[in-house]
Amino acid sequence: MSILNQPFDGQLGDIIISKLEEDCYTKFTIFSAFAKNSGVLRLKPAMEHFSQQGGYIEAFIGIDLYGTSYEALLNLFNLCDALYIIHSENPATTFHSKIYTLSDDTKTWFSIGSNNFTSGGLWTNFESANCFEVNNADSTAQEYNNSLNRLIAHYSSNAYECSKKITSENDLIELLEADYIRSEVRIQMLSINRRRNIRNGITQTPLFGTQAGVQAPRIQRVPTGAIIHPPRNAQPVQATEEIVETNASERIWFETRAMTGGSRNILDLSKLGSISGGSAAGSRYETDNSEFMLGGIAFFDIDPEDGTISKDITINYNGIDYTPCTIKFAPDNGSWRIQLRGQNSDGTIKLHKVHGDDWMRFKIMIFEKIRTDYYSLSVLEEDQIENLKSQSYVVARNGSGRNSKLFGLL
């Protein structure tokens, strides 16, 4: 029996993945107060492998404080054999358990601690969990397992009014429409606003004056990245950093406007962006010219100047993976583009047809990187653009014109 102090002793997400892939357990049980796509999609391949080997997955997820997203529950519904939502209408009571167990007839592995089913909870936050495995034949193990089984029976009982078994996507839509849960991007936007309001609400009576005219020079970073040539023979700029593949979590949004392509399924990705607000300084999008940043193509880890690259990615939208969505360079107009026409697993529907023809037009698309070849997608109406601009650390246009489409990094 040991305590895992994350991140110093490792990351619980990596441990769970390795155990799911050991092929020596038959049941995976999850109790978590919060679930986000950032956690679910990172565990998804291992959970799919576990299911394909005959494993049974059940999850009991809380929805208090809007800590769980609609998209995360959609993905869990597709991954789990049984999914339950736990919630009390009494605001003084929240579902706060964080327990993960893997078991078979002879043994059970437990993780009991503070780790929610999010990327922070399973990887990046300071968290602690008691992790141990027991032999099911031992008397102590029987006490643990009996306690666990009583909890599962309680939450999965039809008679328990604070638990709801999800039997179809319509159950999740009902929760969404009743505002028990919210979309991933809406939760993210509210979180940014909340942090900003807290900062702005802190007031302090100054006890000293301010010395005017004093400013330290900005530390100049020596550019080491690609030299990018803008269209129309403009002066080239150099990326501050080399563009490399990374699985670090990032979020970017794009104005779609009318889209391009005969089926209106192509989103243009610029080599460079003309900065209209904020700053790319210190980020991997910085260039040696403060008026420009790397364009949307860099978000997908592609060198803007290497037009020979063609990259297939998978996009998760509303709980479904669509692949391949191909990113390639179009030499005829000198621009990069992503073809948003990946298919679901059985090939019955393409991403750009999910909500009928032309549904992607005049929207805002928000991509979150899960891996360099795997992204989640949220879509907002274009009237949310001012809200997104206010929450972005840098906003740019994908061309030099005042009416060029906007994009930004959150």
Digit-coded pLDDT (tens) for 380-410: 999 999 999 998 999 999 887 788 999 999 9
Domain span holding position 118: 2-187
Residue 6: band (very low, low, confident or very high) from pLDDT cuts 50, 70, 90 = very high
pLDDT of residue 364: 95
Residue 176: CATH number of its domain: 3.30.870.10
Domain tally, the chain: 2
Residue 208 domain-assigned? Answer: no
Q: Encode pLDDT of 167-210 as tens digits.
A: 999 999 999 999 999 998 888 877 766 666 655 565 567 777 76
Is there a single domain that holds both residue 311 and residue 372? yes
Mean pLDDT of the chain: 90
Amino acid at 187: I
Residue 197 domain-assigned? Answer: no
Is there a single domain that holds both residue 22 and residue 171? yes
Q: Where do the DSSP E strands lie in 140-298?
A: 163-165, 227-228, 237-238, 251-255, 266-269, 272-278, 292-294
Is pLDDT above 60 for 108? yes
Check: CB of residue 294 under 8 Å from CB of residue 285: yes
Say how far apart CA 100 and CA 112 lie, in whole Å.
7
Mean pLDDT on 257-278: 89
Output 107 or 194, whichever has higher pLDDT: 107
3-state secondary structure of 389: helix
Residue 326 domain-assigned? Answer: yes
Check: CB of residue 254 under 8 Å from CB of residue 364: yes
Say how far apart CA 199 and CA 196 lie, in whole Å.
5
Mean pLDDT on 23-33: 96
Host H or E run for residue 336: strand 335-339
Say how far apart CA 277 and CA 391 lie, in whole Å.
11
3-state secondary structure of 340: coil
Residue 206 domain-assigned? Answer: no
DSSP secondary structure letters along 168-207: SHHHHHHHHHTTSSB-HHHHHHHHHHHHHHHHHH------
pLDDT of residue 287: 92
Q: Encode pLDDT of 219-257 as tens digits.
A: 566 777 888 887 666 788 899 889 999 988 899 999 999
Mean pLDDT on 39-60: 97
Q: Encode pLDDT of 320-341 as tens digits.
A: 999 999 999 988 877 899 999 9
